[in-house]
Amino acid sequence: MMKKRSSKRIAGVLHHITSLPGPYGIGDLGEQAYTFVDWMRSCGLRLWQVLPINPIHRGSMYSPYSSPSAFAGNVLLISPDKLFQEGWISRQDLKKKPRFLTNATDYQRAEKFKISLLDKAFNRFNSMPRKPASFSRFVDANRHWLADYACFCVLKDLYPHKKWSQWPVSLRLHDEEALGSVVQSHVQSIMKVQFKQYLFYKQWGELRHYATTNNVSLMGDLPIYVNFDSADVWGGRLNFQLNKYLRPKYVAGVPPDYFSENGQRWGNPVYDWPAMKKDGFNWWVRRVAHQKTLFDYIRIDHFRGLVKYWRIDAKNKTAK
């Protein structure tokens, strides 16, 4: 919790953005999100809890708990209707939507359609002789994570179906000269990633402002561990217990118990806490500070892991 503690109890609801109704196969930050805030206010509900809003992808079954970034936003949550209202896409673009599932989130069709819209929005943005000053401010303010994330996304496109630990040596080692060459050769691709993040955070900020004015607080979900194949591990590998091949030496999980004969092997790389301590836990400080700009409250999943944690030899297939 980050707001000043109060003895007054409040009621809330857990409802992820993707589960909101809408015409584009997946809930987003458009009209239905604002309608949900209105409904909460009418019911006297004061707290809206959501799952992680970080990027998702098909390779991890679109799980928000297996994201390629602990800082970036999920661009599939961007509202096409708001893109149209802001002049980034045309009404005709919206009419080209496919027939989506109506009884469940249609991730694959939604991803294909929304990415095509975002690409068109970027083309419009890229053709502008003068870019919005707010875009430059966003890039500068978020450079501490956005630079690595944008480069990571470009490299994932250049080396499809490969983890970062399988890239050429200079790139997997995050060599500054090699990365500089990538950035210079792919300026437009880098800017496209930045632009999509700019749109996401703009729409998120607008929704949060609306919720605040309606006396509804937002609670975010912060998974304690990150995905191995992420910009966070690639750009900060010294923060994790990796071997000489840049693969996890140990992975996260819990031992066998009454409910699980083999325990749970989550597979996330575990932190190198002594190494993190040397720089004052800088990555964690930045991560929590970033979450504070997005939410009024944070749920750490799981908080116990900050005090004690289990680790499993990465060679073992179970936690037994």
What pLDDT does 305 receive? 81
Q: Which of 31-45, 175-189, 222-236, 297-311 has the lowest mean pLDDT?
A: 297-311
pLDDT digits (tens, 9 = 90+) for 278-297: 999 999 999 999 999 999 99
What pLDDT does 259 receive? 87
Q: For residues 251 and 148, what is the distance between their CA atoms, to the nearest angstrom?
A: 23
pLDDT digits (tens, 9 = 90+) for 68-83: 999 999 999 999 999 9
What pLDDT does 308 receive? 86
What pLDDT does 54 receive? 98
216 or 308: whose pLDDT is higher? 216
What pLDDT does 3 receive? 56
19, pLDDT greater than 70:
yes
pLDDT digits (tens, 9 = 90+) for 80-96: 999 999 999 999 999 99
Q: Class for domain 12-313, per CATH? A: alpha beta
Contact 256, 265 (CB under 8 A): no
What whole-number percentage of the chain has pLDDT above 90?
A: 91
Residue ranges per domain, the chain? 12-313
Contact 124, 134 (CB under 8 A): no
What pLDDT does 2 receive? 53
Radius of gyration of the chain (CA): 20
Q: Which of 36-50, 194-208, 256-270 has the lowest mean pLDDT?
A: 256-270
Closest CA to 80 of 19, 31, 146, 139: 31
The per-residue pLDDT of the chain, averaged, comes to 95
- How large is the average pLDDT for residues 193-209? 99
115, pLDDT greater than 70:
yes
Q: Name, in order, each residue with C-beta under 8 angstroms of 8's C-beta and a sequence gap of 6 or more.
A: none
What pLDDT does 242 receive? 98
Top mean pLDDT of 25-34, 54-63, 299-308 is at: 25-34
- How large is the average pLDDT for residues 105-126? 98
What pLDDT does 266 receive? 92
User: pLDDT-derived band of residue 31, with 50, 70 and 90 as boundaries?
Assistant: very high
pLDDT digits (tens, 9 = 90+) for 136-181: 999 999 999 999 999 999 999 999 999 999 999 999 999 999 999 9
201, pLDDT greater than 70:
yes
What pLDDT does 251 receive? 97
Torsion region of 263: left, alpha or beta (phi above 0 gives left; psi -120 to 50 gives alpha): left
